[in-house]
Amino acid sequence: MRIEVKCEVENCKYWAEGDQCVADSIMVVADRGHQAVNERETICDTFEKV
């Protein structure tokens, strides 16, 4: 199953034209523990600076 993942972080090595994320997998974690109250409390651990 293919899932489209959008990303606006242009300095990530997995960012591609059209705000596409081209990583093989995505790891998203909560900022504190294992629960997030809103999207601002999440972090993409897949990020790698170019």
5-33 tens-digit pLDDT: 999 999 999 999 999 999 999 999 998 88
Q: For the chain, how many helices (H) and strands (E)? A: 0, 4
> Each residue of 34-43: pLDDT tens digit?
999 998 899 9
At 9, the amino acid letter reads V
Check the CA dihedral 7-20-3-14 and report its sign: negative
Q: What is the pLDDT of residue 29?
A: 94
Local structure of 40: helix, strand or coil: helix
Q: What is the pLDDT of residue 1?
A: 75
Q: What is the pLDDT of residue 13?
A: 96
Check the CA dihedral 10-14-16-20 and report its sign: negative
